[in-house]
C-alpha cells in the first residue's frame, strides 16, 4: 500500500500568471460585449419605431388623400401608436413632369434613446376634377 506524500502528490491549481491573464482577457471582453449589447438594443428599438412611424405616415397620407385636405398648405400634428408618440408634417409641392400633379409628403419624426429620427412617405396626387396631361407619345 502506498500513502500519499508530498513528493508523489501533484497539485493542480492556476498560477498567478494564468489568473492575471484571464482577468486581463475579461477586462477587455466584458466592455466590448456590453457595448455590442447596447448597439443591438438601439438598433432593435429604432427598427421597431421606424416600422411604427411608417404605419403612422401611411395612415396620415391615406387620410389626407381621402379627405382631399392635402392641398391646404403644410399641416402638422402629433399622434400616438400604443405607448409611442410621433410628430408628423404633411406637405405638398408641384411635380415637375405634370403641373396638375402634386407630390404629397408625410414626414413622421420620433425619438429613440435620445436621438431624433424621421420617416418620409411620398405619393402623387391630383385635385378632384383636374386632369393630368398625357405623358405617352
Kindly tell me the sign of the dihedral angle through the C-alpha atoms of 30, 35, 40, 45. Answer: positive
Helix (H) or strand (E) holding 124: strand 115-126
User: What is the pLDDT confidence band of residue 137, given thresholds at 50, 70 and 90?
Assistant: very low
- pLDDT tens digits for range 28-46: 999 999 999 988 988 898 9
22-27's contacts with Cβ under 8 Å and 24+ in sequence apart are none
Which three cell numbers, joined as nine digits, stand for 94? Answer: 408641384
- pLDDT tens digits for range 96-108: 888 888 899 999 9
Which three cell numbers, joined as nine digits, stand for 82? Answer: 400604443
Superfamily of domain 16-126: GSPII I/J protein-like (3.30.1300.30)
Amino acid at each position: 500500500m502506498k500513502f500519499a506524500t508530498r513528493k508523489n502528490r501533484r497539485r493542480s491549481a492556476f498560477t498567478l500568471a494564468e489568473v492575471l491573464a484571464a482577468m486581463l482577457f475579461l477586462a477587455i471582453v466584458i466592455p466590448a460585449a456590453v457595448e455590442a449589447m447596447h448597439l443591438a438594443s438601439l438598433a432593435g428599438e429604432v427598427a421597431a419605431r421606424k416600422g411604427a412611424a411608417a404605419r403612422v405616415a401611411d395612415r396620415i397620407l391615406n387620410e389626407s388623400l381621402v379627405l382631399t385636405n392635402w392641398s391646404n398648405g403644410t399641416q402638422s400634428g402629433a399622434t400616438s401608436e400604443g405607448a409611442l408618440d410621433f410628430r408628423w408634417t404633411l406637405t405638398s409641392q408641384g411635380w415637375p413632369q405634370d403641373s396638375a400633379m402634386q407630390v404629397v409628403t408625410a414626414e413622421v419624426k420620433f425619438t429613440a434613446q435620445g436621438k431624433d429620427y424621421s420617416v418620409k412617405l411620398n405619393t402623387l396626387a391630383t385635385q378632384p376634377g383636374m386632369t393630368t396631361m398625357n405623358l405617352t407619345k
